[in-house]
């Protein structure tokens, strides 16, 4: 009885090129991740000026609020009788970042 040894066959040229193509294709895959960050800045400035002339007082309050590219201005004028003079300016800035 003859016993023949079994050997693994060598890959053909076609199988070899297919293996190289598949290997290189998998190694060259690229993953791109995009992150968007939104920053909002809000600035509010309030100026209150009181002027007294002959006991008649005119008070003008102007508030300007800027958010990103939108600007809103509100002006209020009140007239009444008083003997006081005051000037007050308040500025506040808030920055918010969303990832």
For 65, counting Cβ atoms within 10 Å of its Cβ (0-12 exposed, 13-18 middle, 19+ buried), the class is: middle
What is the C-alpha to C-alpha distance for residues 42 and 97, in angstroms, rounded to an integer? 12
Q: How confident is the model at residue 75 (pLDDT cuts 50, 70, 90)?
A: confident
Share the mean pLDDT of the chain. Answer: 63
Domain locations in the chain? 40-98
Whole-model pTM above 0.75?
no
Q: What is the pLDDT of residues 11-52, one digit of tens each?
A: 555 555 555 555 544 445 555 556 666 777 777 777 777 666
Q: Give the pLDDT confidence score for residue 26 in this predicted structure.
A: 46
């Amino acid at each position: 009885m003859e016993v023949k040894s079994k050997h693994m066959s060598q890959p053909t040229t076609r199988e070899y090129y297919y293996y190289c193509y598949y290997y290189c294709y998998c190694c060259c895959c690229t993953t791109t991740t995009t992150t968007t960050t939104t920053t909002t800045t809000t600035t509010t400035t309030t100026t209150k000026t009181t002027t007294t002339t002959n006991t008649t007082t005119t008070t003008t309050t102007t508030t300007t609020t800027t958010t990103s590219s939108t600007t809103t201005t509100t002006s209020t004028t009140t007239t009444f009788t008083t003997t006081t003079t005051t000037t007050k300016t308040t500025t506040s800035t808030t920055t918010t970042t969303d990832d």
